[in-house]
Chain A
């Protein structure tokens, strides 16, 4: 009941933000932002954050037997040992010996699906981002697993030479300018207090509170999209703004960026799923 009320209030706030049109949105947008702020505070209650529905669905998927081997994901090693979830997200991406590769959570889950469950992941990858009437196993699993690191701090894994290479590649990609707008990540995220239109841009290129808070709040429930979103989706969206082609899901390049951002977020506390505009 309480939940339903909050949802409809949120819907109004979203309509305010979305309905502004091109030129005339100003006052409305500022108001909508204030409203959202208010509802954000209200739904700090985990029971009312729709992101927690994804956590529940993710738990069921984690236990679901499927694939040619008809086993669950419970034997999947996310770095802490088979089936160990506590703290796994705080130490990803990391090097996995069995795959001889540095992987983020989403890459690792796909690996376990393919190698341990014998699952054809084509359909899972097709549904990598949820849409109206189309749930995403990956979003739900990430919400469930990342949530198991709540209250813990990011400990970027940088001892293995491959981990070091991935972090360095991610840093280079962060500053790499390209495409028809000449943008790099640094164009929008290298200085504190800057904004595009009215959207504040976090400074992400160096260790600091903004990087810690940003990374510690993903995955997040995006109110404007009515969906739980992971870092893969955020970077997909930023590359879209950069006028680049669609980035490959769960690719080494995206993991490199995530590793670099996680490095900047070292020591940041995880509290997810959060809720954002």
Chain B
């Protein structure tokens, strides 16, 4: 009875894993790039780097986000080195501004008027405040994030790095690299950290 349950649970666990590796058809990457180019033949000035992949995107694509150890370590080292911390060492900004960053999903789209302020759209993927029910589930819940970490400044610094460059903590994470790609400014990232680490923030209420 009990062992049956365990097997059932295991089966569920396995079948619910995204089974990427199973079915990839073989194709020369150069041919794929030809198709990509056909879809994006006319690119506005400054946007070609969005179509082309950087090394991390390329490797994560190649391994469907599950790179072997050697590649994993290479990405980790490269992305860690790419994190720029605030010069004054202060990583915690204003949580009220951070809430705006978390709510705002605009910016960077071809339909956005010039000058649109970009957000982090954290709510697109995470639960944060207990009162906001419109949240996505692509990422883990961040309810009580700072409180659970006893508002430890070292943890806040790690979180700054996570938001600046998610891959510096977990290579091939599905979370965007907000600082690395300059989607968010240093100040916006500090404010997002405050949203997670200020005891007054609704995230910790």
Which residues from chain A sit less than 8 Å from chain B, CB to CB? 22-23, 25-27, 29-30, 164-173, 175-184, 186-188, 190-199, 205-206, 240-241, 243-248, 251-254, 256
Contacts and interface: CB of A to CB of B under 8 A. Distances in A.
A160 to B, nearest CB: 15
7 contacts: A173-B35, A180-B182, A181-B176, A190-B20, A192-B16, A206-B22, A253-B38
A169 B32 contact: yes
B109 interface: yes
Given A245-B51, A251-B39, 6 more contacts: A181-B108, A182-B177, A187-B174, A197-B136, A198-B134, A248-B38
B36 A176 contact: yes
Given A245-B44, A253-B39, A256-B35, A184 B61 contact: yes
Contacts of B67: none
A195 B109 contact: no
Contact of B53 (A22, A30, A176, A248): A176
A240 B109 contact: yes
Chain B contact-residue range equals 35 or more
Contacts of B20: 175, 186, 190, 205
List 6 A-B pairs, minimum CB-CB distance, nearest first: A253-B39, A168-B25, A179-B50, A168-B27, A180-B181, A169-B35
A25 B32 contact: no
A256 B110 CA distance: 22
Interface in B176-197: 176-177, 181-183
B34 to A, nearest CB: 8
Contact of B39 (A168, A182, A241, A248): A248
